[in-house]
């Protein structure tokens, strides 16, 4: 060894190995020559202890993640002013928040209520004011529409088909175009408009500040900026403020089918929210050109991983974006606020809970994309068709946006493999290849062992202790609850696997380093072979591993050494490079999946999903873990394992403790309570050939009043919740019974298709007297046509369903349908069908036709119906429209009691519903 290098040999079997270590130099015989091979003299340097090694790494595993996390969650400073000092208009969070607050002050904008229409009128007034300003411009021209319409379509979600009917649904539309750029010389319209979409309505139990008040506010402010700039643009921007998204995208369907500007649209930007904090996430980009347009935003926040996950169907949700793709055939961007989605579709979705800076980030991104597209030569203003989205794209801490083609990704993958193979070929001796093969095989075993350990902990919590969702109160908790046991199991497996390994420990460590990188490369190659764009995650991890390894090998060559790992150069740099990756990956994944998985229904293996994801993140994005373990001899490894076992035991003990709650006031459990009125009869009106009506009574129901209690997630505590509600409000002589959705049970059809995934019980409620003079709303049915085709054995019926006073009405029936009114072919065979209606308050009816097979002309077709009394949604409408109803007093008291009894850790949907049956 050269004497001036400052490097010393450490005995491979010493208790601790740090600094430089080697198996041999080129001037020494190989270590596999037997006991007679020459050994270097022991170094006087004794090496560092485990504690000193960890102390050296401590800034990287404590301070660096903290700083990176702060960077990841940082948002732009919210702008208070609407104009810069020179008078230039700019998007302003303060202005956006005024719009959101105004919408929240109107109330719960649930489709079918007065508040929903007031929300549309507020937006229409704002749009008209903007159009009036636009009218003074010489370079811009604006048009305004308040579209109202009816329609039918089939909506598919979660492998369930919902037949949708809508009447009187509204859209407010503003078009801002550049003078002489939206029509040809002959006056024909040009297909060069960018559509922006957000919805005014809110979900059933929510005031909708984030979802989607923030989208509405951002669009209004972007429109203001375009108009107040008074600068020429090329093409046009169409702002669609749609009035019915929460009813399964009725309003976007209406626009796509009927509005006069629909054929002008070439691309769309959809603005949504499923959370209340953080920046707007780009989770769908459907062309190369739109990815390039997004690259212009000042703080890019998006990744192709989100697009891959969303398109896979794992996330059981959808946006208006699908309607525009399906019916307009256009490209676009789908963006949403997704941070802290615990308040999504709850009463807590309020202005108070919106994070400062979120709407500024959203607006900055939107206006930047608009500015890029509304200029000469942009993809919007050329005849070139959209290119397929065969691109890798991702942002890095919202500061850098990287995108490249899949061809470039293939080339990058090949280069990474060549470098790796080159290192193996030149730096690994033939006599030691067995150790390297063993280490590489063990890398996949590590992943499996880690998953098994994490899943075992999950099973212990969920089925042994009956205490699931212990990770729900913070998005990063799964890394502790499941990640620590997974890492412990991986290290124990490594200790056992190499228990009889005779190769020098320096070789084992070097093999572990290359195996960890090889594992990433193999995963990268497999995903790249199937053209999965998310393979970039593993190519990045391979690169950050190869960089220090290459430096390490170059240094070793300069010292004339082989199979060498330099702690300071490799492990420290490798860990430093990996840490930004694991922080970015874990926050991106867990911020979405923890709240989302926690809301999954009763049949979802939520604990196992989170356990597998956590162990995968820990192992894949922290590859230095195993090589670092191999720096120490068997005694040192046992000390580390003992420490890890104690840490795992402590973690399990803490989260298994009764003192640890799965829910709290900012991370609530979801449930529903439905006061159900069973109508004794449903009015049927038949029309004969002379159009005279005949009224027949339908079959009757029990006429009872029951309280239905449902769990809207799969977490713990539901039996205790039902017991407490029953003790306080139910008949003590009648115990709760299960309410399982079936062809004969439509209790929770108002939530279909979610109703298929909930767990529910019901019991008779302590009697309440219905106030005299108050009319209970119900469905009545007019049979407009009822004929029999004896040749085809089909019955043809046309029904007019009147649901005055009811919103979200659902008609359910089982039949072998041949043809119907909806925009989709009827499924083959006898199956259950659900017709859901949405309407404005003045058009509470719908008509639909169907033909279905039946063996007899006189065969009966049974229907179940259910709807929500417009006056009995607490607190949305009950205090304003149903103060005299018994449910209002009950829900008011119940809401207060629930907050106290469960320390505000329950988010409960409270509605009064009416149900009945009839047959034809």
> What pLDDT, in 10s, does the model give residues 586-596?
999 999 999 99
Strand bridging mode 160-178 / 862-874: unpaired
Which superfamily is assigned to 93-389 in CATH? Zn peptidases (3.40.630.10)
Is pLDDT of 362 > 80? yes
Q: Is the dihedral of CA 549, 554, 559, 560 positive or negative?
A: positive
CA 795, CA 253: separation in Å to the nearest integer? 30
CA 283, CA 295: separation in Å to the nearest integer? 14
Is pLDDT of 32 > 90? no
Residues 6+ apart with CB under 8 A from 535: 392, 409, 413, 523, 524, 527, 528
Print the SS3 string covering 377-408. Answer: CCHHHCCCCCCCCCEEEEEECCCEEEEEEHHH
Q: What is the DSSP string of 263-301?
A: GGEEEEEEEEES-SEEEEEEEEE-SHHHHHHHTTSSS--
Task: Measure the CA dihedral 143/146/150/151, to 10°.
Answer: 40
Is pLDDT of 67 > 70? yes
- CB-based contact 713:599 (threshold 8 Å): yes
| Mean pLDDT to the nearest integer, 80-109 | 97
Give kind and range of the element (H or E) at residue 76.
Answer: none
Tell me what pLDDT residue 584 has. Answer: 95
What proportion of the chain, given as a percentage, has pLDDT over 70?
90
Which structure tokens are listed for 267? 């691309």
- CB-based contact 729:573 (threshold 8 Å): no
Strand bridging mode 862-874 / 906-919: antiparallel
| Mean pLDDT to the nearest integer, 664-678 | 95
Strand bridging mode 669-678 / 906-919: parallel
Report CA Rg, the chain: 32
Phi, psi of 534 (to 5 degrees): -70, 0
CA 165, CA 799: separation in Å to the nearest integer? 13
- CB-based contact 758:718 (threshold 8 Å): no
> What pLDDT, in 10s, does the model give residues 402-451?
999 999 999 999 999 999 999 999 988 888 999 999 999 999 999 999 99
Give kind and range of the element (H or E) at residue 438.
Answer: helix 433-459
Instruction: Select from 859, 863, 857, 853 the least CA-distant residue to 744.
Output: 863
- CB-based contact 591:570 (threshold 8 Å): no
> What pLDDT, in 10s, does the model give residues 737-796?
999 877 778 899 999 988 888 999 999 987 666 666 677 898 999 999 999 998 889 999
The helix/strand count (H/E) of the chain reads as: 23, 26
Give the three-class secondary structure for 162: strand
Tell me what pLDDT residue 30 has. Answer: 43
CA 471, CA 478: separation in Å to the nearest integer? 5
Buried b (16+ CB within 10 A) or exposed e, 169-194: bbbbbbbbbbeebbeeeeeeebebbb
Phi, psi of 36 (to 5 degrees): -85, -5
- CB-based contact 548:564 (threshold 8 Å): no
- CB-based contact 449:615 (threshold 8 Å): no
Please, which residues bridge with residue 678 across strands?
Answer: 915
Is pLDDT of 300 > 50? yes
Tell me what pLDDT residue 565 has. Answer: 72
State pTM to two decimals.
0.92
Please, which residues bridge with residue 708 across strands?
Answer: 674, 762
CA 401, CA 414: separation in Å to the nearest integer? 23
> What pLDDT, in 10s, does the model give residues 517-526?
999 999 999 9
Measured CA distances, 747 to 204, 612, 717 (Å): 17, 35, 22
Range in 79-88, 124-133, 687-696 the model is least confident about: 687-696
CA 750, CA 873: separation in Å to the nearest integer? 13
What proportion of the chain, given as a percentage, has pLDDT over 90?
75
Which structure tokens are listed for 284? 């769908």
Question: Which one-letter DSSP state was computed for residue 343?
Answer: G
Which structure tokens are listed for 409? 């990704």
Tell me what pLDDT residue 768 has. Answer: 65
Measured CA distances, 815 to 675, 687, 794, 831 (Å): 29, 23, 11, 6
Question: Which one-letter DSSP state was computed for residue 731?
Answer: -
Is pLDDT of 10 > 50? no
Is pLDDT of 281 > 60? yes
Is pLDDT of 17 > 50? no
- CB-based contact 359:214 (threshold 8 Å): yes
Which structure tokens are listed for 866? 């259910």
Is pLDDT of 571 > 90? no
Instruction: Select from 425, 447, 446 the least CA-distant residue to 436.
Output: 425
CA 14, CA 67: separation in Å to the nearest integer? 36
Residues 6+ apart with CB under 8 A from 446: 490, 493, 494, 619, 626
Residues 6+ apart with CB under 8 A from 357: 75, 76, 77, 78, 93, 279
Residues 6+ apart with CB under 8 A from 526: none
Strand bridging mode 780-789 / 759-764: unpaired
| Overall residue count recorded for the chain in this entry | 920
Instruction: Select from 843, 856, 846, 847 the least CA-distant residue to 798.
Output: 847
Give the three-class secondary structure for 888: helix
Q: Give start-end residues of each CATH 3.40.630.10 domain in the chain.
A: 93-389
- CB-based contact 72:587 (threshold 8 Å): yes
> What pLDDT, in 10s, does the model give residues 306-350?
888 877 666 666 899 999 999 999 999 999 999 999 999 999 999
- CB-based contact 854:793 (threshold 8 Å): yes
Measured CA distances, 379 to 57, 84, 373, 376, 552 (Å): 49, 30, 7, 9, 47
Query: ∠ at Cα 299 (599, 532), nearest 5°?
Result: 60
> What pLDDT, in 10s, does the model give residues 798-853?
999 999 999 999 999 999 999 999 988 899 899 999 999 999 999 999 999 999 99
CA 598, CA 343: separation in Å to the nearest integer? 12
């Amino acid at each position: 060894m050269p004497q001036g290098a400052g490097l010393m040999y450490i005995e491979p079997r010493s208790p601790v190995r740090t600094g430089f270590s080697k198996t041999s130099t080129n001037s020494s015989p190989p270590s596999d020559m037997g006991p007679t091979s020459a050994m270097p003299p022991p170094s006087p340097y004794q090496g560092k202890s485990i504690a000193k090694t960890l102390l050296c790494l401590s800034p990287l595993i404590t301070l660096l993640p903290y700083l990176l996390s702060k960077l990841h969650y940082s948002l732009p400073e919210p702008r208070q002013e609407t104009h810069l000092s020179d008078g230039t208009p700019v998007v302003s969070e303060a202005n956006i928040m005024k719009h959101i607050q105004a919408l929240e002050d109107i109330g719960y904008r649930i489709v079918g209520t007065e508040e929903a229409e007031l929300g549309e009128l507020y937006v229409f007034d704002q749009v008209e004011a903007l159009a009036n300003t636009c009218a003074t411009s010489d370079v811009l021209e604006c048009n305004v529409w308040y579209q109202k319409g009816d329609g039918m379509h089939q909506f598919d979600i979660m492998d369930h088909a919902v037949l949708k009917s809508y009447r009187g649904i509204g859209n407010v539309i503003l078009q801002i175009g550049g003078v002489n750029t939206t029509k040809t010389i002959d006056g024909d319209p040009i297909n060069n408009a960018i559509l922006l979409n957000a919805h005014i309505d809110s979900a059933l139990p929510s005031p909708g500040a984030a979802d989607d008040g923030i989208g509405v506010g951002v669009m209004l402010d972007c429109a203001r900026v375009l108009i107040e700039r008074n600068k020429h643009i090329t093409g046009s921007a169409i702002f669609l403020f749609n009035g019915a998204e929460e009813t399964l995208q009725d309003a976007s369907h209406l626009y796509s089918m009927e509005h006069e500007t629909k054929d002008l649209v070439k691309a769309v930007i959809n603005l949504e929210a499923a959370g209340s904090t953080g920046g707007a996430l780009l989770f769908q980009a459907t062309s190369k050109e739109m990815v390039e347009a997004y690259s212009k935003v000042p703080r890019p926040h998006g990744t192709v991983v989100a697009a891959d996950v969303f398109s896979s169907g794992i996330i059981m949700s959808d946006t208006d974006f699908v309607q525009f793709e399906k019916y307009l055939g256009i490209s676009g961007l789908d963006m949403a606020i997704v941070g802290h989605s615990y308040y999504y579709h709850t009463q807590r979705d309020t202005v108070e809970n919106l994070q400062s800076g979120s709407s500024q980030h959203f607006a900055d991104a939107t206006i930047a994309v608009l500015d890029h597209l509304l200029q000469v030569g942009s993809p919007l203003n050329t005849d070139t068709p959209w290119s397929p989205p065969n691109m890798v794209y991702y942002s890095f801490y919202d500061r850098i946006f990287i995108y490249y083609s899949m061809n470039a990704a293939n080339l990058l993958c090949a280069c990474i493999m060549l470098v790796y193979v080159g290192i193996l070929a030149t730096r690994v001796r033939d006599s030691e290849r067995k150790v390297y093969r063993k280490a590489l095989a063990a890398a996949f075993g590590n992943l499996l062992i880690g998953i098994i350990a994490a899943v075992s902990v999950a099973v212990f919590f969920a089925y042994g202790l009956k205490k699931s969702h212990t990770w729900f109160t913070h998005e990063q908790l799964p890394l502790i609850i499941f990640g620590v046991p997974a890492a412990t199991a991986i290290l124990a497996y490594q200790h056992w696997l190499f228990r009889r390994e005779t190769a020098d420990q320096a070789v084992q460590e070097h093999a572990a380093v290359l195996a960890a990188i090889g594992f990433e490369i193999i995963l990268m190659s497999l995903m790249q072979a199937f053209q999965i764009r998310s393979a970039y995650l593993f190519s990045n991890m391979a690169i950050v591993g190869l960089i220090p390894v290459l430096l390490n090998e170059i240094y070793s060559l300069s010292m004339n050494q082989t199979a060498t790992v330099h702690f300071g150069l490799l492990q420290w740099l490798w860990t430093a490079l990996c840490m930004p990756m694991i922080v970015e990956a874990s926050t991106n994944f867990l911020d979405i999946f923890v709240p989302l998985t926690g809301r999954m229904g009763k049949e979802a293996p939520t604990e196992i999903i989170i356990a597998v994801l956590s162990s995968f993140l820990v192992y894949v994005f922290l590859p230095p873990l195993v090589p670092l373990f191999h720096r120490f001899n068997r005694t040192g490894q046992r000390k580390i394992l003992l420490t890890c076992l104690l840490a795992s035991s402590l973690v399990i003990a803490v989260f298994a403790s009764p003192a640890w709650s799965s829910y709290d006031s900012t991370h609530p459990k979801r449930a529903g309570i439905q006061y159900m009125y069973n109508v004794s009869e449903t009015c049927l009106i038949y029309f004969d050939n002379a159009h005279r009506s005949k009224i027949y009574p339908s079959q009757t129901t029990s006429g009872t009043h029951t309280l239905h209690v449902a769990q809207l997630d799969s977490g713990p505590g539901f039996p205790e919740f039902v017991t407490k509600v029953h003790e306080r409000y139910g008949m003590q002589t009648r115990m709760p019974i299960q309410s399982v959705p079936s062809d004969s049970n439509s209790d929770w059809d108002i939530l279909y298709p979610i109703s298929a995934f909930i767990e529910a019980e019901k019991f008779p409620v302590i009697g309440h007297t219905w106030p005299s003079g108050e009319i209970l709303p119900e469905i009545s049915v007019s049979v407009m046509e009822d004929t029999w085709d004896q040749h085809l054995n089909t019955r043809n019926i046309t029904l007019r369903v009147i649901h005055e006073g009811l919103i979200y009405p659902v008609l359910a029936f089982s039949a072998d349908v041949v043809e119907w009114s909806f925009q989709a072919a009827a499924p083959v065979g006898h199956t259950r069908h659900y017709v859901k209606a949405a309407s404005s308050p003045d058009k509470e009816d719908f008509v639909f036709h169907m033909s279905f097979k039946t063996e007899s002309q006189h065969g009966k077709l049974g229907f179940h119906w259910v709807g929500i009394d417009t006056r009995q949604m607490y607190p949305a409408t009950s205090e304003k429209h149903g103060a005299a109803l018994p449910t209002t007093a009950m829900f008011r008291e119940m809401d207060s009691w629930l907050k106290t009894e469960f320390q505000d850790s329950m988010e409960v949907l409270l509605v009064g519903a009416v149900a009945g049956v009839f047959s034809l």
